[in-house]
Every structure is written in C-alpha cells, then in structure tokens.
Amino acid sequence: MSKIASAFANGKAFIPFITCGDPDVETTLHAVVEAVQNGADLIELGIPFSDPTAEGPVIQGANIRALAGGITTDKVFDLVRKIRREVSIPLVFMTYANVVFSYGAERFIGTCKEIGIDGLIIPDIPYEEKDEFEPICEKYDVDLISMVAPTSEERVTMIAKEAKGFIYIVSSMGVTGMRSSIATGLSDVVSRIREVTDVPCAIGFGISTPEQAAEMAKAADGVIVGSAIVKILEEKGTQAPESIGSFVKSMKDAIR
C-alpha cells in the first residue's frame, strides 16, 4: 500500500497546501507542524515557481514572496528534512515541470525519496506526457499524482485506471482561489473513477469554508485547501502558524 493511502485510512482526509518559504522557511516549518497537530492527514508543499499557471492571485503572491526571500529547490529540500524530524504523515510536492526539469528529473525525484516525500503533483504535465516522469517516480517509489477535472469526461476513467497515491479532482475550471460556490456533478466524477479503481479521491480548488469542505467530503475521500491557508500567511506573516492550526481544526472537524 502506498504511504499516501494511509492518509485516507481513518475517515475523510484533510489536506492543506502550504507554499514553502512564504514568508520564510521557519514559518513554513511551524505552519506544517501546527497543521499536523490539528488534524491534517497529508500536506501538500508547494515549491515556488516564477510562472505558476494553475494558481490564482493568492498563491501567485506566495510564490513571489518566497522567491523574493531567496527560496530555492535545495532550500525546500532542506526544509523537508527539518519537517521530517517532527512530522510522519504523508507529504507531497506540488510544483511545475520546469522546476523538475531544470534540477534534473532523476536527481529531483531521487532526492524526494531520500528526504521522505511520498508523492509529486505537476499540474502542467497532462496524462499523455506523464511518461516524462512516471518511470523515474516508480524507480524511487514516489507516487505521481493524477489530476482530473469535471471537463475530463471520457479521459476520467483512462486517467483513473493508472492513478497512484490519490486522485486530485479539480473542482472547477480556472485557477486556484477561494470561491463562493463550487461546481456540482463532482459525485458523478467520483462514481466514474470508482468503476475502475479504489485509489482515494480528494477534491481541491476553491474550498475555503467548513461548510464547503463538509459538502465536498460527502462526494470524495478527502478535501484539499490551499488559497484560504495561504491567505492567512499573507495577512499574518510569521505569526500565521497558530491561526493556521485553528483553521485546520475547524475544517477537519467539519469533514469528520
């Protein structure tokens, strides 16, 4: 069993997203620890990139702040080594293909294995191009996480059949960001996935309130929240971790 599956073993999983190095690596470390202590089941760690095409203004801002603060891929790896001294739940990276290519895919994914990263999400690599990374991920036992959207239609079952770790269901079209309403019909997407695999499904993009989280958890095995957490970091800076802990607790309580 993939270590990532353990995040979904005790009921609905809550998955926070945190941009590494925003506003600094120490704050990221404390934010991750607070999130885990307050019920996070898996953490998505964003490696900042100068052109994050899937991100809305909030997470774009976090990327800009982290890069301006001097974050690098190597500094993110060092940060994860520190996180791993305190945290045992599954960790996945979310980043872009250029970050992996420029570092060297073999070296990047091999380092992921060494530091205790369990999975990799690369939103700008479609299913048809995943062979760029999948064989290396398999070599190092790092799950390459598949994404599906409500518009994936006939591709949903094709993607799901080969999925590893968990399936990231994008709730709505466009970029990440908090939304007042989230697309319906996601339970149909989950049903189609269930026809071909029992790999867990988590819904992300746009979820920012306990009410939305509870609604999405009815359809899927887990809920991913990014922009609402990054917004706390934007507003509170180095004082954010405790507030992030409280927010994570409220979301986890809502989906239990």
Is 6 within the bounds of a domain? no
pLDDT for 239-253, tens place per residue? 999 999 999 999 999
Question: Of 145, 240, 241, 166, nearest to 14 (Cα)?
Answer: 166
DSSP letters along 67-95, please? HHTT--HHHHHHHHHHHHTT--S-EEEE-
> Could you tell me the pLDDT band of residue 52, with boundaries at 50, 70 and 90?
low
Is 1 within the bounds of a domain? no
What pLDDT does residue 180 have? 46
Q: With 60 as the cut, is the pLDDT of residue 183 above it?
A: no
Q: With 50 as the cut, is the pLDDT of residue 203 above it?
A: yes
Strand partners, 169: 148, 203
Q: With 70 as the cut, is the pLDDT of residue 197 above it?
A: yes
Q: With 80 as the cut, is the pLDDT of residue 219 above it?
A: yes
Alpha-carbon Rg for the chain, nearest whole angstrom, is 16
What's 129's domain CATH number?
3.20.20.70
Please state the domain count of the chain.
Answer: 1
Is 40 within the bounds of a domain? yes
- Do the beta carbons of residue 165 and residue 122 sit within 8 Å? no
What pLDDT does residue 106 have? 98
The CA distances from residue 240 to 18, 64, 121, 133, 246, in Å, are 12, 18, 25, 35, 10
Neighbours of 110 (CB within 10 A): 15
Question: Angle between the 210-219 and 186-194 helix axes, to the nearest 10 degrees?
Answer: 30
Across the chain, how many H-helices and E-strands are there? Answer: 11, 9
Q: Give the DSSP letter of residue 162.
A: T
In degrees, rounded to 5, the angle at the alpha carbon of residue 168 between the alpha carbons of residues 187 and 215 is: 40
As a whole number of angstroms, the distance between CA 165 and CA 227 comes to 23
Q: With 80 as the cut, is the pLDDT of residue 32 above it?
A: yes
What is the value of pTM for the model shown? 0.93
* DSSP helix/strand/coil, 97: helix
Is 250 within the bounds of a domain? yes
> What is the span of the domain harbouring residue 173?
11-255
Cβ burial 184-215 (10 Å sphere, 16+ → b, else e): eebeebbebbeeebebbbbbbbbbbeeebbbb
Mean pLDDT of 189-217: 94
Provide the mean pLDDT of the chain.
92
- Do the beta carbons of residue 232 and residue 26 sit within 8 Å? no
Is 5 within the bounds of a domain? no
Phi and psi at 217, nearest 5°, equal -65, -20
Q: With 50 as the cut, is the pLDDT of residue 171 above it?
A: yes
pLDDT for 111-149, tens place per residue? 999 999 999 999 999 999 999 999 999 999 999 999 998
Is 22 within the bounds of a domain? yes
Please list the helix, strand and coil fractions of the chain in percent, rounded to the nearest 5, in that order.
Answer: 50, 15, 35
